Amino acid sequence: MLDKLPARLGERFIVTIEATRSPYPQGVGVSEGVEVFGERVKRAVIWEYYSLPPELRESERSRLPFGFEVVCRNKQGSLSFYNMTDCQGCQAWWHGGACMIAEDIPGGRRYRCNDIELDEDFDDMVFSVVRASMASPKAPAFPAGRRAFADLSNRSAGRAAERQL
């Protein structure tokens, strides 16, 4: 499932992966023309393990909460947000038990997500999206020179970006 939030060209959002309880790595998908970690793409996925330096990803799963900035780079008037699961090296969304509940919070929304398993706990990932003008502290920047997402508009380029991390 996905949720569209109204967004103006150049508007900034703080996305925070607050918690995960899935046996699979979780990520936030963003689409419709965005800028994430200084790179403009049509669609991006930011995985929970991007909260760690690459050398720690084998020994740790993630360090949450993990916040990052997303900038609207389209004139369509919205950005789409959705939950992603990495199941045995395959990126999955909108399959099996994947769904999410959206709740309004000051300046944005919080999403409680299910992964691909057929359960209804809605705790596999919790993330929030808040307009930067309403957010408290600025989201941390990703270390320079590292691509922090997979561009889904070109799957082979996305896999290459994953390898660069």
CATH of the domain at 149: 2.60.120.400
- Under the banding of pLDDT at 50, 70 and 90, the label for residue 87 is confident
Q: Provide the token pair at 8.
A: 């103006």
In 7-31, which positions are buried (b, 16+ CB within 10 angstroms) versus exposed (e)? beeebbbbbbbebbebebbbbbbbb
Ranked by mean pLDDT, the top range of 17-31, 76-90, 121-135 is 17-31
* Helix, strand, coil percentages, rounded to 5, for the chain: 10, 45, 45
Q: What pLDDT, on the 0 to 100 scale, is given for residue 90?
A: 72
Query: Cα separation of 43 and 116, whole Å?
Result: 21
Range of the domain at 79: 2-164
Reply yes or no on whether the pLDDT at 43 is more than 50. Answer: yes
pTM summary value = 0.80
Q: What pLDDT, on the 0 to 100 scale, is given for residue 135?
A: 67
Instruction: Give the type of residue at 101.
Output: I
Q: What pLDDT, on the 0 to 100 scale, is given for residue 136?
A: 58
Number of structural domains found in the chain:
1
Q: Provide the token pair at 159.
A: 């896999």
Spatial contact of 61 and 51, defined as CB atoms under 8 Å apart: no
**What is the percentage of the chain residues whose pLDDT exceeds 90?**
63
